[in-house]
Amino acid sequence: SSVQLADAGTYRVIASNPFNVVISNEAVLAVKAKPVILFQPTGNIIPAGFDYTFTVVVTGYPAPTFKWQKNGVTIPGATGSSLTLTNPQPSASGTYRVIVTNSLGTVTSDDATLLVTQ
């Protein structure tokens, strides 16, 4: 009762008596949970041309999906737990966040502000 995320895993039963030992097949217990953000993306001030990566660390099962946004607008193709800006210019400055979703719920990260200087 009161199954927790830490209870997820593979289980077997070993039954024995003085005459025999029997080991069951494996049974996998998957614990479903809505996404939870463990590590928020962080902003920074960087010079133009220096790559920058936003990262979010989450838990949740089934595995969540990711949708990154800049200034509230979804960034096409930005669907991983990290978002790398390659050779960013001042126009990359803005507020970034990620929306994390699975079948049990959705959570939005804190805003992370990036300022790219000339």
- pLDDT tens profile 80-102: 999 999 999 999 999 999 999 99
Q: What is the pLDDT of residues 43-76, one digit of tens each?
A: 999 999 999 999 999 999 999 999 999 999 999 9
Instruction: Kindly give the pairing relationship between strand 112-117 and strand 44-47.
Output: parallel
Question: What is the b/e burial string over 39-76, where b = at least 16 CB atoms within 10 angstroms of the residue's CB?
Answer: eebebeebeeeeebebebebebbeebebebbbeeeeee
Spell out the SS3 assignment of 29-73: ECCCEEEEEEECCCCEEEECCCCEEEECEEEEECCCEEEEEECCE
CB under 8 Å to 45, separation ≥6 — which residues? Answer: 114, 115, 117
Q: What is the pLDDT of residues 5-41, one digit of tens each?
A: 889 999 999 999 999 999 999 999 999 999 999 999 9
